[in-house]
Amino acid sequence: MNCQQFQEVLPYIIESGGNEEEEAHLRSCPSCAELVRDLRYIAEQAKLLLPMHDPNPRVWNNIEQSLHQEGLLPEGRMSRQGHTMTYPTPTQSKSWTPIGWLMALAALTVFAAVLVNYKPSLPAAQSTAQNSSTQPAQLATDDQQVIGQMSQEDPGVRRAYEDGLREADAYISDAEQAVKLDPQDAVAQEELVEAHAQKEMLYQMAAARSLQ
């Protein structure tokens, strides 16, 4: 057996081993032996490659949006607020509303008297420290100040502003890079203006909210 013959069958025997003739060639041919050593070494090293990259946080945002649009989730964000919200299962759709209305009707006679002293046992909104597995980028100081002024707001709303500001910062960064690459590109410049406009909108709305 020569090297050419050996290398033609090599794809099919490299893992399982060859017949006597093939093994004999491997023992006697330094070049083919080195080739096999290299290929096995590459395969071993590949097994050690770790998953190393986290996706951009926008991937999660898109997943949420898609699920809302498909009606698999009701309006509003997925709960990161500590509310234990139960959503309809993906394979069935249930609605609490008819059952809730029936219950409300049945409880109407005692509803007024009891509700005065009844404290709904809805879980209190927890801090947004929960579920930090996505580890979003740190907000700039100005952005943090804006968020800080919204401490009285609904946690879901605060979270929406935080995400929006991160997204706007990423947009600005991308647009600045595009302008840097080609300062003559009018579209890139327009994109930069739009990116800043997005951030400005968020600031204006946050300011209006804190004034209210």
- Contacts to another protein from residues 130-149, by CB under 8 A: 130-134
Residue 87 or 145: the one with the smaller Cβ distance to another protein is 87
Residues of span 76-135 touching another protein by CB under 8 A = 76-80, 84-91, 96-97, 99-101, 103-104, 106-107, 110-111, 114-115, 118, 120-122, 130-134
Angle, CA of 112, 116 and 117, to the nearest 5°: 130
**Burial of residue 30, with CB atoms counted within 10 A of its CB: 0-12 exposed, 13-18 middle, 19 or more buried:** exposed
Check: CB of residue 185 under 8 Å from CB of residue 178.
Answer: yes
Check: CB of residue 81 under 8 Å from CB of residue 125.
Answer: yes
Q: Which stretch binds another protein (CB under 8 A): 17-25, 138-146, 161-169?
A: 161-169
| 3-class SS of residue 131 | coil
Residue 20 or 48: the one with the smaller Cβ distance to another protein is 48
Residue 42 or 141: the one with the smaller Cβ distance to another protein is 42
Which two three-digit tokens encode residue 135? 């580890």
Q: Please count the residues of this chain forming the interface with another protein, following the rule CB under 8 A.
A: 107
Residues of span 52-81 touching another protein by CB under 8 A = 52-56, 58-63, 65-69, 72-73, 75-80
Which two three-digit tokens encode residue 143? 């952005």
Q: Residue 19, interface with another protein (CB under 8 A)?
A: no
- Tell me which of 24, 154, 182, 207 binds another protein, using CB under 8 A: 154
How far is it, in rounded angstroms, from Cα 71 to Cα 131? 24
